[in-house]
Structure formats: structure tokens, C-alpha cells
Structure 1
Amino acid sequence: MTDAAIDILQTHKLLASCEAGLAERYTVHKLHEATDRAAFLAEVGPRIRAIAGGNVDPGLIAALPKLEIIANFGVGYDSIDTAAARAANVRVTNTPNVLNDAVAELTIGLMVALARRIPQADQFVRQGKWPHAGFGLFSELTGKTVGILGLGRIGKEIATRAQAMKMRVVYYGRKRQPTEPHVFYDNLVDMARDCDWLVIIALGGKGTERIVSREVLTALGPKGRLVNVARGTLVDEDAMLELLQSGGLGGAALDVFVNEPAVPEAFFALDNVVLSPHQGSATTQTRDAMGALVIANLDAHFAGEPLPSAVV
């Protein structure tokens, strides 16, 4: 059972519905609102049994001697040092599945926006240019091959939607998934060379940093387009920008960046990119479900029940 006497630490701002649910069940201490982080942790740290949110490094774990669980808000948990959590016997959960549809929908939306230059078309009309000139002819998704880097839960939803758009789907991953009908590649450069589109939806972290290298981007080529809805760190951002500028890469639709929200200004001048402010799961429906799953994981832990979505 939940108990308001249980102290938890909230590491960053969460959705209002999630914060309200946490406050109903637990005594919440908001680290992100503390003016003196060290003093704050010295005061409340010895009482904290759980964390709601991410951005958890070994130092924070060490400052919380009674910590039992970290309930991350998000499917990606690369902002949490899971090795340090495991060493301290601290459980870690995330919020998978509930955001699959939202991210998959945005992915297809970004692809259509890039192929048909929808943001530019909007500005073309707003700026009064239409009466004086035609907008031009661009591309479509029908008949194209899309390579998915990371055919996990969200990747599969993207694949389903891409097939509905009459696209051919192939994928790259650590191993072939025998029950999936799509062609599997064990070499990312080879897949990029054979694709019209490369969609990135793998987990971030040290194991995948810059996995989309200059070599991969060059293989994708002048007619190829890249979509990143995972983490900016998976791509060699400098190489991508250089190739977009030179025509070595056909286009990019980006929902994530290496140092977001700071986006390199050079992207702003490019007509072959669509930029999005990391909004893959940013719908009220999905964020409410994510918050509910954070709370469900905490409730289950303190009730001694199996965790709905444990990663450690």
C-alpha cells in the first residue's frame, strides 16, 4: 500500500497529472526547485526511498542511502546510471508501450513533411508567393524503402504505418527477429546504402553513441533522407550538418539533437530539413499514461508486487 509517510525525490518537472498523483500518495521533495542542491540533499536525502524522474547519476544515488527504486518518466533511461543503480541494489523502471503510437505517428508525420516540404509550403502561402509562382514538385513515400534502426516496440509501430504508406520496410539491429517479415541487415552501412529513408528509433547511451556515423550518412547519400526520433547522440551531428549543406545527404527530419534544446543555428538556414522540439510523446493522452505508469511502478514496489515495467 502507498503511504504519505514515504519520502520520494522528484528530479525534474513532470506532467501536472503525474505530480498530483504523486502528491496524493507520497511526500514529494522537488530537487529541481532547490536553490542549494547540496544542502537540500543533505536534509532530505537520508529519508528518500524512491525517485520519480530521470537525470540520476552515481553521486545522487550515493546521496540517498535508503533509495530503493528509480521510476523514470520516459521509455529511454539513458539519463540514469543503471550500473550504479544495480550496484546499489536499486530498481529502475521506465514507461514503455504507452507512447508507441504517439512517437510512430510523429515519425510518419515528419517523413511526409520532409518529402512534401509541408513547412515550406505553409510559409509559401502565408508569405503571399502562391499567386506569383508554383511551389514545385517534390517526393512521396509510396514505393520507397525505409530502413529502421531499432525494431523494438516503437520501431514495429513505425513499420506498420510505413507499410500502410506503401513503403518497403527493412531493419538493422543486434540480431535478426525471426518472427518479423522484414529483411534484416547485420551491417548498418549496407542498409543505409540500400534505403531511401533511414529512421532512427534505437535506445541512446554509450553503446549506440554516433552509431549513425559519417560512413552511414554517406552511404545513405544525396537522395537519402534521415529521420531521428530517438536521441541526438546516435548521430554524428557535425557530419550530418556538413553533408546536408553540401548535398551529400538528401534531407533530415529531426525531433532530437545532441545538446537540445540548443540546436546548431546552421540547421535553420537549410531548406532540406524539418526541425521538431523533441515532441515524440508530447500528446496529453500519452503523457498522462506515462505519468500513470510512473505511479503504478512506485505503488507496486511499495506494495511488494511485481513492477509493471522494470529495466533493472
Structure 2
Amino acid sequence: MSQKPAVLLSHPMIGPMQPVLEGAYEVHRFWDHADPAAFLAGPGQAVRAIVHAGEFRLDPAVLGQMKNLGLIANVSVGYDGVDVPWCRANGIEVTHSRGLNADDVADHAVGMLIAGWRGIVEGDQMVRAGTWTLTDRMRPRASLRGKKAGIVGLGHIGEAVGRRLEAFGMTVNWWGHREKPGAPWPMAASLLDLARDTDALMVCCRASPQTEKLISAEVIDAVGPRGAVINISRGQVVDEEALIAALKAGRLGLAGLDVFAQEPTPAERWADVPNTVLTPHSAGGTVDSIPLMVASCLENLRCFFAGEPLPTPVAD
């Protein structure tokens, strides 16, 4: 019988981590078990840590059956699929890769804004389709310089987005559920006030029950027909139906989305939605950030099994 500590990989998306774990741990893959109940009643009883991708929901009813479970180590920065209060009440620690892909996500968010604002995607399609004429140059787009950016959620990513947009000559304001002393930019009195006074609403907040459909029809309409909504948070933070309706009706200028209510999002859902830049939840995953996040997860595992303080526990 193996003396290695037992860890469980929760989702196929993080299956590539198995080889780097096997030297130190007995690795189980939850998706391999056609009868999850049998696994939980058998080998699952030895599992002491779960390696997890935080966007996927972990059912407390399942977690509660693993009596030796003490850690959920999220490879990701986000952990919205984990019921942190329940875990804490049941003696289970939760960690994540705090802030490690913030710059990459911010780059992607700003890239989507520029692509939509300056019509880069449409321009590419026009050139490739052979429909470009010289008169197209007489329909110029607006500059970003002098425009207003509103950031929803001023964490690591929100700050990184703000600093980049400031470099483009934009005025930056923000709003969040909690005040942030020492923030580099003014905080709006409310989300609606921020939306009314912005040209580009950058959605950077953490997903939680409190932020479900936070970007509502009212907020979207407040941004208006000349404004942009860019979402690199989670799909559920934006009322996607309201966003699509506003884009089709011309009540919203444009949207850039890296995250969706359902992932993968159905292609037909967006076939006739104008003025969009869509990417497949790729903002935070680069060849630079992924190794950092994997290393953070491994260090949290090492410290847990060594009885040392965890480097990056979830803070709230």
C-alpha cells in the first residue's frame, strides 16, 4: 500500500498536472470513476487534498464524504466554484494562485477594448473578404485618449487594467463592494454612477453570489450606445441576455467577452450579435502565467502536508 499522501484531481482540465504530482503523491482523478459513490466510500476516504480549477463547482455534499480532506488547492486565481465558508466551517483550508496572472488578464482586457473600439476585428474581416474600399478610411473611429474608463472591482487585475488604460490617456474611476484606502483613482458612489460616467466599463470583480448578474440591464443601458462593456471576470457577473439584447438594439456600443454564462458558449448564440470581440476564456492562461500558478499550487500542497503555514490562503 502506497505511503504517499492521496490527492484528488477534480476536473479533466487540470489533468496535465498529474505527472508533476505523482512523484510525491498518490493521484486520483475524479472523472475516471463511473461510480463516484463507490470511489468516495473507498479510495476517496484517503484523500487529504483536492487540486482544483476554481471556476468549477465543488459540491459540499461530495466534499463532506471525504472525512480526511483538509485542503482544496486551486490552481487558478478564481475560486468561485468553492463554498469557502462551508469549507472553513468543516476544517478544510482553501488556497489559490493569488494575483499571478493579473498582468496577462489585464493585457487581454485592454486588447479586447482596443480591438472593439478601433474596429480591428471588422477591419481584418473586411481586408480578407476583399470588401475594403478607399472610402472606408473616411469613416474614422474615436480615439481612446481623453475617454473615461470605469473599473468594476479594484483587485490585482482591476489595478493592472487601470494602469494600462491610464497610459492610453484615459481617465480612470472605479467601484467595488468595499472601499479601498489608498486606491490610485476615485471611487464612484455607486455602480450605476460609474456606468453613467464611463465610456468603457471594465468588469474585473470576483465572482460570488453577491456579484451574480451585477452588470444588469440597467447598468448596461447606463453605459449606453457609444460605450463598451469588457468582461474578463466570470460570465455570471454579466446579465448575458440583457447584454445581447442591448447590442442588437444599439443601446450598447460594443462588448468584449472572454467569459460566458455557459462555457463553451454556443456559436449560434452570437451569430447575429453585432459589435463584439469574443475570446474563449483565454485571458489568464499564458506560457508565463500557467507555470507560476502550477508552482503556487504545488507549494501550497507541500506546506499543507509539511504542517507549515499556507502561502496563499483565500483571504475572505
| Same fold per superposition (TM over 0.5) | yes
* Letter paired with 1:8: V
Indicate how the Cα distance of structure 1 residues 210 and 139 shifts in structure 2: closer, same or farther if over 3 A, else same: same
CA distance in 1, matches of 2:173, 2:266: 30
Partner residue of 2:227 out of 224, 227, 245: 224
**Residues 32-60 of structure 1, C-alpha deviation per residue, up to 9 Å, x if partnerless?**
23233222222211110000014321122
CA distance in 2, matches of 1:218, 1:115: 18
% same residue: 37
The whole-number CA distance in structure 1 between the counterparts of 2:252 and 2:65 is 46
How does 1:1-312 map onto structure 2 within 5 Å? 5-14=4-13, 18-54=17-53, 55-130=57-132, 134=136, 136-263=139-266, 265-311=268-314
Structure 1, residues 216-265: CA drift from partner, whole Å, max 9, x if none?
Answer: 11111111110000011111111111111001111100001111112473
TM superposition shift of 1:19? 2.9
C-alpha contact 2:6 2:26 (8 A) present in aligned 1: yes
| C-alpha contact (below 8 Å) 2:232/2:283 kept by paired residues | yes
Letter in 2 for 1:236: D
**Conserved 8 A contact 1:7-1:29:** yes
Distance 1:13 1:24 in 2: 20
Q: Which moved further from structure 2: 98-107 or 81-90?
A: 81-90
- Structure 2 distance, partners of 1:53, 1:110, is 28
Tell me, in whole angstroms, the C-alpha distance in 2 between the residues paired with 1:47 and 1:176: 43
TM-score, structure 2 length as denominator? Answer: 0.93
Decide which moves more: 10-19 or 87-96.
10-19
Amino acid at match of 1:213: S
Counterparts of 2:204 and 2:18, CA distance in 1: 28
Q: Secondary structure at the match of 1:134?
A: helix
Residue 194 (structure 1) shift:
0.4
Secondary structure of the 1:49 match is strand
- Relative to 1, partners in 2 of residues 1:236 and 1:311: Cα closer, same or farther, differing over 3 Å? same
> 1:80-107: per-residue Cα shift (whole Å, max 9, x none)?
1212211210000011121111101101
- Quick one: distance in 1 between partners of 2:267 and 2:251? 19
Q: Is the deviation greater in 22-31 or in 38-47?
A: 38-47
Please, which moves more after superposition, 72-81 or 33-42? 33-42
| C-alpha contact 1:15 1:287 (8 A) present in aligned 2 | no
- Alpha-carbon distance between aligned partners in 2 of 1:26 and 1:241, rounded to the nearest angstrom: 46
Q: 1:131 to 1:193 in 2, by over 3 A?
A: closer
Whole-angstrom CA distance in 2 between matches of 1:29 and 1:246 = 50
Secondary structure at the aligned position of 2:22 is classed as helix
Contact 1:18 1:295 (8 Å CA) reproduced: no
The number of residue pairs the alignment matches comes to 310
Structure 1 counterpart SS, 2:23: helix
1:267-297 CA distance string (max 9 Å, x none): 2223311111111112111111111111110
Deviation for aligned residue 1:143 = 1.1
CA distance in structure 1 between the partners assigned to 2:297 and 2:3 by the alignment:
16
Find the aligned partners of 1:128 and 1:41 in 2 and give their Cα distance: 59
Change in 2 beyond 3 A, CA 1:235/1:264? farther
Unaligned runs of 5+ residues in structure 2 are: none
TM-aligned CA distance change 1:177 to 1:84, over 3 Å = closer
Unpaired runs of 5+ residues, structure 1, are none
SS at structure 2 position matched to 1:184: coil
| Alpha-carbon shift at residue 126 of structure 1 (Å) | 1.4
| Normalised TM-score (structure 1) | 0.94
User: Which range moves more in the overlay, 38-47 or 102-111?
Assistant: 38-47
User: What secondary structure, in the 3-state scheme, does the structure 1 residue paired with 2:106 have?
Assistant: helix
Conserved? CA contact 1:108–1:158, under 8 Å: yes
Partners in 2 of 1:99 and 1:19 — Cα distance? 22
